[in-house]
């Protein structure tokens, strides 16, 4: 990645008038070659974001998501890992469910059915997503988002005809919440640049929160040791604010803080340093002016020593220079032309490369792109068709290459100003850079908020001051423990049955059969350690895995010891014992419940998204695909003297000669599979006819599932559980049959088509009060930068919020919102 050129500082009169200080003439360039030589190797950092249709759900609804995986330094879609683990974690730190989502060129999607069977109850859950590769760099890059889940059933009873509401009225709810005690609050002070220095003017930011991390509005006074008032403070946004302070010698400062109810708290400010530097930043007409200031004592001690300034973004250095200060105060412009959008860290070092102060700054860019999502009407009737027109244009009206996901949801009484949850812009450009949870992160990236950049700077001065993620480049170890997964790995060891010695040169055959009967067949040969490996396997949904091993003579021999097929989950660090109680949550829950009451719909009968089933197939389903013939004994089935007589009765076109079974169409014996174990022909004699539960015959091309071993067809026999017949045979270790889970088979979002007649009376009479009206994770503009999607409204009079999120091929995250009303 190219580094920016040094920025030569010119004398700018208006800046002198602005700051009242002297400008540096130049910031000497540290050669680009030196930077490249000293720059540590850059690891492949992945970041992932999940766009969900909503952030609140009722039990029984579905959560829909789209995954965007990007290269951590550029935010460009990254095709490194293809396996993404998506987990829902309960308030008491339990993993409720886990989807393994397939990523292709950095994109993937899926859904989670929030059913009672998962043990879900009302509360705040955590949705998280990560790859195996991310484990190499700790938990900092794991995506985490809070999801609120309601249980509307607790508020109603149903007498068979009508809903009887038990939910309190608004005033009752208010009384309940008013009884809660005011929570204690905490306040922290953050001198700009890191430290207070005696006799140097400093800006001091602060942040006040309650014991749950929620912002608290405060005001107060700052006193010196002699109890003189030296500053006033008042929070201006989310419990944050800033004030000016000039510390003097031998003073310790204290703030007296007051909250709205009159309660007070005294807090000591950080103790001023006797020597040091203060670095401040101001935005003047779109230019970032950095000021370095120090006191007389520090200046005398370091009058001829250079200071080095380094600016990095997401761990990459974009500007570096050094300068000897010839005044106590000096300023320069930060060259932002080649610095990418996002949070940059500016650090000042002394001649010994010891950090003196640090400042975070958000660099915003005008990308000159225009993305819009426009409904064909501003107002609709219930159940009316909606057409959304998407336009994505770059500069000069050139079509924009991007991938989008779209959600249309019932706002359920929530105004735009109350809905500032995480979005793709706030996550990739800010939240993923700062440790800890950011309150209302979407606020800072809504251009309708005129003070958003000022308030974002406050956030960086406070929370970002102590918890910036990219303080150091993630360490690269010689051997990374966790590999980037392209697919599933099935591996293990084949050893001798009654010993520990590995079996070398054994053939291992793997067969995977999914629910549609599609199969994968692979072969490997064990090495000197007896190891085999099938790597980067791609399969979807529940599948049957068959493993069989044979020695060099083609005999079934050996014993399997399997490795784990999927990676264990990352340790859970989420704990959320509080129940949902915010004003926003209460409003949503109450409005959803009112819809049920208004339309007389019991909660369990909510018209939700349905599963679209796959293609229909003819024939009888088998673990091994479609069987050509299947026999299941009935109560009136005749008695047989041995298994060979039963086979001849049950399966047409089969012949028995002595103890050898073959299909008439083939000249050689058929393959025998007993209880999912590939067996020898002589094993048949141990099967008792009365113990047989089912026989399947694959005597056509369908037997190819077994590879060359199925060249003469296959006879699959299942015995009854616990039957004496099966126990007479020796237990086999050379074969394994196991149900395993592949990539999650994502459902297709479904909404009714009211231009077509209902399929049945039940569907026609069922009230449509959906909360998510439309979800599409796969929207891509055409060669003209256009796209169009459509769906049908529910039958509720409401306001619908449309949200488009996505990312361009150059790594620019996009969020676009629009509203329309539905009124009868």
pLDDT digits (tens, 9 = 90+) for 431-463: 999 888 899 999 999 999 999 999 999 999 998
Range 179-207 average pLDDT: 85
Does the pLDDT of residue 367 top 50, yes or no?
yes
- Give the per-residue pLDDT at 652: 87
Higher pLDDT, 507 or 556: 507
Percent of the residues in the chain that have a pLDDT greater than 90, as a whole number: 53
Q: Has residue 9 got a pLDDT over 70?
A: no
Per-residue pLDDT band for 174 (boundaries 50, 70, 90) equals very low
Separation in Å, CA 296 to CA 197, 224, 248, 349: 11, 22, 13, 19
pLDDT in tens, 263-304: 888 999 999 999 999 999 998 888 899 999 999 999 999 888
Does residue 2 carry a pLDDT above 90? no
Place of tokens 């459509």: 790
Contacts of 748-757 with CB under 8 Å at 24 or more apart are 748/612, 749/64, 749/111, 749/609, 749/774, 749/775, 749/776, 750/609, 750/610, 750/611, 750/612, 751/609, 751/791, 751/792, 752/383, 752/607, 752/792, 753/792, 754/383, 754/384, 754/385, 754/792, 755/385
Does domain 13-41+184-363 fall into CATH 1.10.3720.10?
no
- At residue 260, the pLDDT reads 74
Averaged confidence pLDDT in the chain: 84
What is the CB-side half-sphere exposure of residue 273 using CA atoms within 13 A? 18
pLDDT value, residue 55: 94
Q: Which residues pair with 104 in a beta bridge?
A: 107
What is the average pLDDT across 82-97? Answer: 94
pLDDT digit string (tens) for 749-801?
Answer: 988 999 887 655 445 567 899 999 999 999 999 999 999 999 999 999 999 99
Return the domain boundaries, the chain: 13-41+184-363, 487-566+620-746
Task: Find residue 696's DSSP bridge partners.
Answer: 630, 716
Least confident of 190-204, 592-606, 707-721: 592-606
Q: What is the reported pLDDT for 343?
A: 95
Q: Among 638, 660, 658, which residue's Cα sits nearest to residue 650?
A: 638
Phi, psi of 316 (to 5 degrees): -105, 135
Is the confidence at residue 4, as pLDDT, over 60? no
Instruction: Answer whether residue 27 shows pLDDT above 70.
Output: no
Q: Where are the beta strands (DSSP E) in 636-690?
A: 654-657, 660-663, 671-674, 677-679
When mean pLDDT is compared over 129-133, 305-309, 563-567, 638-642, the highest value belongs to 129-133
Q: What is the mean pLDDT of residues 60-69?
A: 96
Q: Looking up tokens 């389903």, which residue turns up?
A: 621
Span 722-743, mean pLDDT? Answer: 69
Beta 559-562 vs 620-622: how paired, if at all?
Answer: unpaired
Report the C-alpha gap between 186 and 170 in whole angstroms. 31
Average pLDDT of the residues in 225-231: 95
- Is the model more confident about 598 or about 488? 488
Instruction: Kindly report the backbone phi and psi dihedral angles of residue 522, in degrees, each rounded to the nearest multiple of 5, phi listed first.
Output: -135, 150
């Amino acid at each position: 990645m190219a580094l920016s050129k040094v920025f030569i500082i010119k004398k700018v009169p208006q800046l002198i008038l602005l700051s009242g200080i002297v400008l540096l003439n130049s910031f000497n360039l540290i050669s680009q070659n030196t930077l490249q030589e000293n720059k540590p190797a850059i690891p492949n950092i992945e970041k992932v974001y999940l766009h969900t249709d909503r952030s609140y759900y009722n039990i029984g609804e579905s959560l829909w998501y789209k995954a965007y995986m990007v290269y951590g330094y550029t935010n460009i879609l990254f095709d490194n890992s293809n396996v993404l683990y998506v987990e829902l974690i309960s308030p008491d730190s339990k993993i409720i469910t886990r989807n393994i989502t397939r990523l292709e060129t950095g994109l993937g999607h899926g859904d989670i059915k929030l059913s009672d069977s998962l043990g879900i109850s009302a509360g705040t859950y955590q949705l998280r997503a990560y790859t195996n590769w991310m484990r190499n760099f700790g938990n900092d890059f794991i995506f985490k988002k809070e999801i609120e889940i309601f249980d509307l059933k607790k508020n109603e009873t149903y007498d068979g005809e009508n809903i009887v509401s038990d939910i309190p009225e608004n005033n009752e709810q208010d009384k309940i919440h008013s009884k809660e005690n005011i929570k204690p609050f905490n306040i922290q002070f953050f001198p700009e640049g890191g430290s207070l220095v005696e006799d140097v003017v400093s800006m001091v930011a602060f942040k006040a929160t309650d014991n749950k991390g929620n912002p608290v509005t405060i005001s107060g006074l700052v006193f010196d040791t002699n109890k003189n008032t030296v500053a006033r403070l008042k929070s201006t946004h989310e419990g944050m604010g800033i004030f000016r302070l000039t510390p003097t010698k031998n003073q310790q400062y204290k703030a007296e803080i007051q909250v709205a109810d009159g309660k007070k708290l005294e807090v000591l400010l950080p103790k001023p340093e006797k020597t040091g530097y203060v670095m401040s930043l101001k935005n003047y007409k779109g230019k970032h002016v950095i000021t370095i200031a120090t006191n007389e004592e520090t200046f005398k001690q370091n009058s001829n020593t250079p200071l080095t300034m380094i600016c990095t973004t997401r761990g990459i250095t974009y500007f570096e220079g050094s300068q000897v200060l010839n005044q106590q105060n000096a300023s320069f412009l930060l060259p932002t032309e080649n610095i990418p959008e996002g949070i940059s860290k500016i650090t000042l070092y002394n001649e010994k490369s010891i950090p003196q102060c640090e400042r975070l700054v958000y660099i915003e860019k005008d990308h000159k792109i225009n993305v819009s999502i426009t409904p064909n009407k501003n107002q609709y009737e219930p159940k009316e068709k909606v057409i959304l027109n998407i336009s994505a244009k770059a500069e000069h009206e050139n079509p924009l290459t991007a991938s989008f996901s779209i959600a249309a949801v019932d706002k359920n009484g929530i105004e735009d100003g109350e809905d500032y949850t995480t979005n793709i812009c706030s996550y990739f450009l800010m939240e993923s850079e700062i440790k800890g949870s950011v309150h209302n992160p979407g606020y800072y990236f809504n251009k309708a908020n005129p003070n958003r950049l000022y308030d974002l700077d406050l956030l960086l001065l406070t929370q970002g001051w102590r918890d910036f993620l990219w303080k150091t480049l993630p360490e690269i170890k010689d051997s990374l423990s966790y590999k980037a997964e392209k697919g599933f790995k099935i591996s293990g060891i084949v050893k001798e049955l009654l010993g520990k010695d590995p079996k070398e040169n054994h053939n291992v055959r793997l067969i995977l059969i999914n629910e549609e009967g599609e199969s994968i067949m692979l072969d490997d040969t064990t090495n000197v350690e007896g190891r085999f490996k099938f790597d980067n396997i791609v399969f979807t949904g529940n599948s049957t895995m068959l493993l069989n091993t044979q020695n060099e003579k083609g005999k079934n021999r050996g014993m399997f010891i399997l490795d784990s097929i999927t990676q264990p989950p990352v340790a859970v660090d989420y704990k959320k014992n509080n129940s949902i109680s915010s004003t926003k949550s209460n409003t949503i829950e109450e409005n959803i419940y009112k819809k049920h009451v208004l339309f007389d719909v019991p909660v369990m009968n909510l018209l939700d998204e349905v599963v679209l089933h796959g293609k229909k197939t003819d024939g009888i389903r088998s673990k091994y695909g479609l069987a050509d013939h299947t026999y299941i004994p009935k109560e009136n089935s005749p008695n047989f003297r041995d298994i060979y007589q039963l086979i001849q009765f049950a399966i047409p076109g089969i012949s028995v000669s002595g103890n050898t079974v073959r299909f008439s169409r083939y000249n050689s014996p058929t393959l025998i599979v007993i209880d999912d174990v590939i067996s020898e022909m002589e094993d048949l004699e141990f099967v008792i006819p009365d113990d047989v539960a089912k026989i399947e015959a694959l005597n056509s091309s369908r037997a190819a599932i077994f590879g060359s071993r199925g060249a003469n067809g296959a006879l699959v026999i299942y015995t009854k559980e616990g039957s004496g017949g099966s126990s007479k045979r020796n237990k086999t270790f050379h074969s394994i049959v196991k149900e395993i889970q592949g990539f999650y088979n994502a459902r297709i979002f479904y909404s009714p088509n009211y231009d077509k007649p209902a399929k049945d009376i039940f569907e026609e009479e069922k009230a449509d009060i959906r909360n998510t009206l439309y979800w599409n994770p796969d929207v891509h503009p055409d060669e003209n930068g256009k796209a169009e999607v459509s769906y049908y409204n529910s039958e509720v009079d409401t306001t619908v919020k449309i949200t488009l999120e996505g990312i361009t091929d150059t790594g620019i995250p996009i969020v676009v919102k629009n509203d329309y009303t539905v009124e009868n």
